[in-house]
Amino acid sequence: MSDSQVTIKLTSDEALVLSHWLEKLQMTDLSQVVDDPAVWAPIHRIAGTLDKTLHELFASDYEKRLEAARQRLRPED
């Protein structure tokens, strides 16, 4: 099996919300949530890539931006 790369495209809103969730996930005991340790490496890689890419993470109004992104992503009733 080759180690070919997979590209995932996210909107900035999706990336911001996913980054926040992954950060919370990594702060827990991953073994409690993810039953296969083989999944931990990709979780850390995705989170690290998002952290390097998202400038919003360091904005003074981060929480406001995060909530706005969440609102835009939630399905309308």
How far is it, in rounded angstroms, from Cα 67 to Cα 72?
Answer: 9
Helix (H) or strand (E) holding 31: helix 30-33
pTM: 0.82
33, amino acid identity:
V
Residues in the chain, how many?
Answer: 77
pLDDT tens for each residue of 1-49:
567 998 999 999 999 999 999 999 888 887 788 888 899 899 999 999 9
